[in-house]
């Protein structure tokens, strides 16, 4: 197996969105797997990375100075939940918080769009995972015209400024899980065919699916405008779950290794303390 | 192996605190392990129970009607973090939230003592774990005389009323992790001896330890006053980590099995939907 550093370098070369670079999502094959090897290798590597992430999280928690925020975006059924489980399923529950952003409540709507996001940011020492995020406000917000074009245009800058603000204590990494329209069809169909999965199906998903191309354009604009040096976007091929999980796990692990959290020094002399 | 139902029945018979019953913690051996068999069996059973809890949590989430709140209390080093990891380490991160209650902030102190607790209660479909809880306000609150005796006395009823209130959507189960004073000494000492664990040592723990007997009395009062039909307390022998984990995992699993969450019926006909 390649080292995590090598693997992360390869993945970043292929899937990192360079700041300001135009993105053509149709040119990126969602079924691509060559970056993670065969299925068996990828699964073993994901498990190894998940265990390493747990150990790194322990140090992050002990250090208590920085947080990691992982943002997951993607079309319906792209696997945001599954990725969370595969990558963070080995991390102690104490150090991980997952926030699923749904349709905003009345109270949330009565604030600026980043208010509920800020509240959910992870505290120092922990990993926060956003299942959907502030980016919904430039995705569904743009496609469904939930705000004027001027307001939407302004939001890209507001998001960048917001991420810059929280970056003083929080490291940020963002993944768009990129699936094909055909793969989505299969996944939606399996929710209909399997009675235990029916509850996951939302009839409104069919309506959103009809706007597929509009969403792709909104994602492309978002990626171009909001992949920054302090908060990079990655586009991860996600038709194959195992390839998707392996790529995200490697980048998260490499990010934590680069953060290199340290057990803190204490301000007392352990040898001088007696416990009666 | 015995079924989870049998195991839970045995554990409840031995460790459940009956409402209003007086508790003598000194009569309960913290090193007891006979209820879980040998170490190897207990560990295998914990892993099996943790996987079952994950599957049950999935159904709880799908159902979306009820939450489970697990409260962990115990002296310093009694293993609240370790129990969380052993019992919920297999549960998908999406469905679990852990709240560690520390010394209240100024804002928290400017509210009633249950305000911060209510905010942290788990939403329907999820499992919430409280690492310390409202009970600190009748433990350290009582021992350190942080409020008058009248105020403390009133809190037991306030807590019972609060738990009754949230029980409309939330199932509650409460564990006191019971360790011996000798075992605590060993665990504190190992935090001093191991440089990577120094950060876990708080010199104030030594001062609290001197009040051991006062804390035991405060625990006994709490157990007697706040073990109710809708929110039972269990006293779990916790000198042996594997025995502690096995007992908590079994009771949590049995509780979820009794809740018996169901995949919800949908209000549309899956067969009538076509995905283009």
Whether residue A96 and residue B91 make contact (CB cut-off 8 A), yes or no, is no
Whether residue B84 and residue A94 make contact (CB cut-off 8 A), yes or no, is yes
Whether residue A81 and residue B92 make contact (CB cut-off 8 A), yes or no, is yes
Q: Look at residues B41, B28, B39 and name the one whose alpha carbon lies nearest to residue B177.
A: B28
Q: Give the whole-angstrom CA distance, residue A141 versus residue B10.
A: 55
Question: Considering only CB atoms, which chain B residues are within 8 Å of A129?
Answer: 93
Whether residue A263 and residue B188 make contact (CB cut-off 8 A), yes or no, is no
User: Residue A40 — very low, low, confident or very high, per pLDDT cuts 50/70/90?
Assistant: very high
- What pairs with residue A68 in β-bridges? A127, A171
Q: Give the whole-angstrom CA distance, residue A24 versus residue A36.
A: 22
Segment A78-96 shows an average pLDDT of: 96
Residue B9, pLDDT score: 96
Whether residue B192 and residue A131 make contact (CB cut-off 8 A), yes or no, is no
Distance from CA of B29 to the nearest CA of A (A): 21
Whether residue A92 and residue B85 make contact (CB cut-off 8 A), yes or no, is yes
Strands (E), B84-153: 96-100, 127-131
User: B93, B127, B212: best mutation site toward chain A, by most A Cβ within 10 Å?
Assistant: B93
Task: Tell me the CATH architecture of domain A4-260.
Answer: 3-Layer(aba) Sandwich (3.40)
Give the residue extent of every domain in chain A.
4-260
With CA atoms as reference, the chain B residue closest to A206 would be B275
Q: Which residue has the tokens 């939403």?
A: B123
User: Residue B180 — very low, low, confident or very high, per pLDDT cuts 50/70/90?
Assistant: very high
Which of B85, B129, B270 is nearest residue A192 as measured by Cβ atoms?
B270
Segment A89-95 shows an average pLDDT of: 94
What is the per-residue DSSP string for A180-201?
-HHHHHHHHHHHHH-GGGGGG-
Three-state DSSP class for A69? strand
User: B88, B275, B276: best mutation site toward chain A, by most A Cβ within 10 Å?
Assistant: B275
> CB count, 10 Å around CB of A268?
12
Residue A22, pLDDT score: 96
B192-201: pLDDT as tens digits? 999 999 999 9
Q: What is the mean pLDDT of chain B?
A: 96
Distance from CA of B150 to the nearest CA of A (A): 33
A1 has a pLDDT exceeding 90: no
A91, two tokens: 């991390």
A73, two tokens: 């975006």
Provide the ipTM.
0.85
B46, two tokens: 């914990």
B1 has a pLDDT exceeding 90: no
Three-state DSSP class for B123? coil
Q: Look at residues A52, A26, A29 and name the one whose alpha carbon lies nearest to residue A250.
A: A52
Strands (E), chain B: 67-74, 96-100, 127-131, 170-178, 233-237
Whether residue A264 and residue B199 make contact (CB cut-off 8 A), yes or no, is yes
Question: Considering only CB atoms, which chain B residues are within 8 Å of A65?
Answer: none
Which of B98, B185, B270 is nearest residue A93 as measured by Cβ atoms?
B98
User: A61, A75, A81, A93: best mutation site toward chain B, by most B Cβ within 10 Å?
Assistant: A93
> Taking CA A210 as the corner, what is the angle to CA A208 and CA A211, rounded to the nearest 5 degrees?
70
Count how many Cα atoms sit within 13 Å of the Cα of residue B181 in the half-sphere of its side chain: 14
Residue B49, pLDDT score: 98
CATH tag for B4-261 (out of 3.40.50.300, 3.90.45.10, 3.20.20.70, 3.40.50.1240) = 3.40.50.300
B50 touches chain A (CB under 8 A): no
Residue A67, pLDDT score: 98
A182-223: pLDDT as tens digits? 999 999 999 999 999 999 999 899 999 999 999 999 999 999
Which of B92, B185, B273 is nearest residue A192 as measured by Cβ atoms?
B273
Q: State the DSSP code for B270.
A: G
């Amino acid at each position: 197996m390649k080292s995590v550093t090598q693997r992360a370098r390869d993945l970043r070369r292929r899937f990192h969105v360079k700041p300001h670079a135009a993105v053509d999502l149709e040119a990126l094959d969602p079924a691509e797997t060559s970056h993670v090897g065969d299925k068996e290798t990828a699964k073993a590597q994901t498990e190894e990375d998940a265990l390493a992430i747990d150990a790194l999280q322990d140090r992050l928690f002990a250090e208590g100075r920085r947080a990691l925020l992982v943002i997951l975006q993607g079309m319906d059924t792209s696997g945001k939940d599954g990725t969370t489980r595969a990558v963070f399923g080995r991390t102690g529950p104490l150090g991980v918080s997952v926030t699923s952003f749904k349709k905003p409540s009345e109270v949330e709507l009565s604030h600026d769009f980043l208010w509920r996001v800020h509240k959910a940011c992870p505290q120092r020492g922990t990993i926060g995972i956003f299942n959907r995020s502030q980016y919904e406000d430039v995705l569904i917000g743009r496609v469904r015209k939930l705000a004027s074009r001027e307001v939407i245009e302004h939001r890209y800058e507001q998001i960048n400024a917001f991420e810059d603000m929280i970056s003083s204590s929080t490291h940020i990494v963002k993944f768009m899980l990129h699936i094909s329209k055909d793969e989505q069809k299969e996944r939606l169909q399996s929710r209909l065919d399997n009675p235990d999965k029916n509850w996951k199906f939302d009839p409104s998903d069919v309506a959103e699916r009809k706007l597929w191309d509009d969403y792709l354009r909104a994602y492309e604009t978002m990626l171009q405008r909001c992949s920054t040096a302090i908060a990079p976007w990655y586009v991860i091929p996600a038709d194959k779950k195992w390839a998707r999980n392996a790529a995200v796990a490697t980048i998260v692990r490499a990010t934590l290794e680069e953060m290199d959290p340290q057990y803190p020094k204490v301000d007392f002399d352990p040898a001088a303390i007696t416990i009666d």
